[in-house]
A and B are shown apart, each in its own frame.
Chain A
Amino acid sequence: MDNTIMTYVSAFIVGGVICAVGQVLIDKTKLTSARILVLFVSAGAILTALGVYQKLVDIGGAGATIPLTGFGYNLVTGTFKEVDKLGVLGAFTGGVKAAAAGIAAAIFFGYLMSVAFTPKAKR
């Protein structure tokens, strides 16, 4: 039971800190949210390739995988696994394969919700 509570505490702290870093970047550099997201995916991918991000995932659980850096983590861990199996072909198939559920869900649910709902009147 204590272990379960600890997973929430560390997810809260790690996830919160990653988002706080994003906020500092927005406030201090005037980066748009599109650039923040691109930066975070790429940073997650690079930190995973360097072996750093896995440690953060071990500590933070969902706190490290739910932020968009975790999407980069997912892509690169999938890529490396597939390179081990298939060689250089795996560099092209592994990432998207590992992220397939997320990409497909984003496209499908994104489309459904966009069609089903209308935005609030402009304020």
Chain B
Amino acid sequence: MQKTMTNKEYQSYVEKKTPNSKTGRNVLRAFLVGGLICVVGQFITNILKMMGYGQEQVSSVVTLIMIFLGALLTGLNIYDDLGRFAGAGSIVPITGFANSIVSPAMEFKSEGYVLGVGARMFVIAGPVLVYGISTSIVAGIIYFLLR
């Protein structure tokens, strides 16, 4: 029966199938890479805890190290290659936040150190801070009123 399919039918069949399997592949890659980046974070967390640091110090130092790594790997042109493979798996972790700062800043260095590097650093990080901090302030005020 398969052979009686016309070219057109086959094409629409392919079109129906491919987007799904492509999404499936992308999601699997995002899961694997995102999961692995978090395992690295957990590894640093476990080591710091073993060294006897308190909970708050640990979370600050882990964030610091992960951001350093994300920024360094972006500078070395490794993180963007990872991003092409992993999609959201490399965008969503905090290393991706560092990537979103370094990548445009490096790109626009030719426009100078103030409006090139200094301003472009915040093309994505700026909105993240605006919405993150504003949401936390609203949540804090509501918490204060309901307390």
**Residues 16-28 of chain B: 1 if any A CB is under 8 Å from the residue's CB, otherwise 0?**
0000001100111
Bound complex: CA A70 to CA B113 (Å):
31
Q: Can you name 12 A-B residue pairings with CB atoms under 8 Å?
A: A19-B34, A23-B27, A23-B31, A36-B92, A49-B143, A62-B39, A63-B42, A71-B132, A76-B140, A80-B140, A113-B71, A114-B75
Among B36, B106, B131, B132, residue most surrounded by chain A Cβ atoms (within 10 Å): B132
Given A38-B128, A116-B75 in contact, is the A23-B135 Cβ separation under 8 Å?
no
Contact of B77 among A16, A115, A120 (CB under 8 A): A120
Q: Which residues of A contact B106 (CB under 8 A)?
A: 113-114, 117-119
Q: Which of B1-57 contact A (CB under 8 A)?
A: 22-23, 26-39, 41-46
Query: Which listed residue (A15, A17, A21, A94) contacts B39, Cβ 8 A?
Result: A15
B33 to nearest A CB, angstroms? 7
* Cβ-defined contact, B136 with A19, below 8 A: no
B27 in contact with A15 (CB, 8 Å):
no
Count B-side interface residues using an 8 Å CB cutoff. Answer: 79
Cβ contact of A111, chosen from B26, B42, B105, B132, cutoff 8 A: B105
Which listed residue (B41, B96, B105, B144) contacts A37, Cβ 8 A? B96
Distance, CA A62 to CA B45, complexed state (A): 7
Cβ B42 vs Cβ A37 within 8 A: no
- Chain B residues contacting A120 (CB-CB under 8 Å) are 77
CB neighbours (8 Å) of A14 from chain B are 38
| Cα distance, A111 to B132, chains bound together (Å) | 21
B26–A27 contact, CB under 8 A? yes
Residues of B within 8 A of A69 (CB): 92
Q: A66-B37, A66-B38 are in contact. List 11 more A-B contacts (CB 8 A).
A: A4-B46, A11-B42, A23-B31, A45-B139, A49-B143, A62-B62, A63-B35, A63-B38, A67-B38, A103-B129, A110-B102
